[in-house]
Amino acid sequence: MTAPTFGMEVQATDGMARAGVLQTAHGPIQTPVFMPVGTAGTVKAMTPAAVKQTGATIILGNTYHLMLRPGSELVQEMGGLHRFMNWPGPILTDSGGFQVMSLAGLRKLDADGVTFRSHVDGAHVRLTPESSTLIQDRLDATITMAFDECTPWPATEQQARESMELSMRWAERCRTAFRARPGYGQFGIVQGGTFETLRLQSASTLTDIGFDGYAVGGLAVGEGQAEMFRTLDFTTPALPQDRPRYLMGVGKPDDLVGAVQRGVDMFDCVAPTRSGRNGQAFTRRGTVNLRNSRHRSDPRPLDETCPCPACQDHSRAYLHHLIKAKEILAAMLLTWHNLTYYQALMQQMRTAILQGRMDDMAAAFAEEQAKGDIPPRD
């Protein structure tokens, strides 16, 4: 069977919000979409079949971590990351650019690339735009990300400019190094801190290079939601209408709703999986901390409207017990729940956009979240 051409069809808009379908070599993706994070070739505490049951259609892997362990050459020998981890659907791979920022004490940056000291064994490893692109090719990533420097926050305008301009030079090298084939795509990453002039310059440069999609990087790094939304207000309109838009590393449920209203199509974040491993659940009535003693003898489900096993098969009391006993099942069930909730939220937004009622959906979401979790009866 011939692989489809990589591309996005925008099916409906409601204000800035968009609902569409992204065609890829590994299947279609309905947008807006949330991508569970599988940094090292696994979504923590979940089997691939369980991830699929949450409604996820695409997951994220990471170039830096997979190049260290088990190595991109081995993954390629095993038939690529899809076969290696038994996830036949689309995979997007982060290029390692976030590690350029987050591992500042373990790396040396220069004009050509970055030399890291491995957090695994201390060995020196090198990433350049070309090698990052090659590694993602070996992994058989459906969506390859350009290698960039994720600008830290806070940054002066001069610091943000220098960082952005370096990322744009790298972006051009990544595009040259990318091996085009049917159904596969490469995204450029807009940088520039929270400075409008820099963001618009970055978006223009990337558009001129010509990527298959565009990501907004360098947000959710400490600037706060209001500043993030302000930056999106002038960044997303500068991106091509016929290409997918991806907000990297975002976020909490209210971040997702606000960003969709500002024209974002794709998201990833560790929040639902990390919170699940730490006893925290996201629900339609806000965040619930199941470590709290008030859940110790509560026979109710976490959320009676949720179809996940944590809610359908177990009580809050049991979930609380698992957490207190430090049982692995606690992380499994709560991660399953959180990912199910995130996927349901994305589907609610998609439906609202198709029906032309995104603002009403967002208002109802905020109202329900503000109510908070219902305490047990005395």
pLDDT higher than 90, residue 97: no
Residue-wise pLDDT tens digits, 332-363: 999 999 999 999 999 999 999 999 999 999 99
For residue 121, report the phi and psi dihedrals to the nearest 5 degrees: -135, 5
pLDDT higher than 60, residue 280: yes
Q: Known catalytic residue: 94? A: yes
pLDDT mean across residues, the chain: 96
Q: Looking at residue 130, what is its pLDDT? A: 98
Q: Looking at residue 309, what is its pLDDT? A: 98
pLDDT higher than 60, residue 378: no
What is the Cα–Cα distance from 97 to 129, expressed in whole angstroms? 10
Q: Looking at residue 263, what is its pLDDT? A: 98
What is the Cα–Cα distance from 22 to 142, expressed in whole angstroms? 12
Catalytic residue among 268, 298, 303, 373: 268
Catalytic residue among 94, 148, 212, 265: 94
What is the residue extent of each domain of the chain? 8-269, 276-359
Q: Looking at residue 289, what is its pLDDT? A: 98
Determine the distance from the C-alpha atom of residue 273 to the mean position of all C-alpha atoms in its chain, rounded to a whole number: 12
Lowest mean pLDDT among 8-17, 39-48, 99-108: 99-108
Q: Known catalytic residue: 378? A: no
For residue 73, which of 133, 147, 135, 145 has the smallest C-alpha distance? Answer: 135
Q: pLDDT confidence of 223, banded at 50, 70, 90?
A: very high
Residue-wise pLDDT tens digits, 11-33: 999 999 999 999 999 999 999 99
pLDDT higher than 80, residue 126: yes
Q: Looking at residue 99, what is its pLDDT? A: 82
Residue-wise pLDDT tens digits, 60-74: 999 999 999 999 999
Q: What is the share, in percent, of the chain residues with pLDDT greater than 90?
A: 92
CATH number of 8-269: 3.20.20.105
Q: Looking at residue 119, what is its pLDDT? A: 84
Q: pLDDT confidence of 120, banded at 50, 70, 90?
A: confident
Q: pLDDT confidence of 2, banded at 50, 70, 90?
A: confident
Contact 339/282 with Cβ under 8 angstroms? no
Q: Looking at residue 290, what is its pLDDT? A: 98
Q: pLDDT confidence of 1, banded at 50, 70, 90?
A: low
Number of C-beta neighbours around residue 209 at 10 A: 16
Gyration radius (Cα) of the chain, Å: 21
pLDDT higher than 80, residue 147: yes
What is the Cα–Cα distance from 84 to 81, expressed in whole angstroms? 5
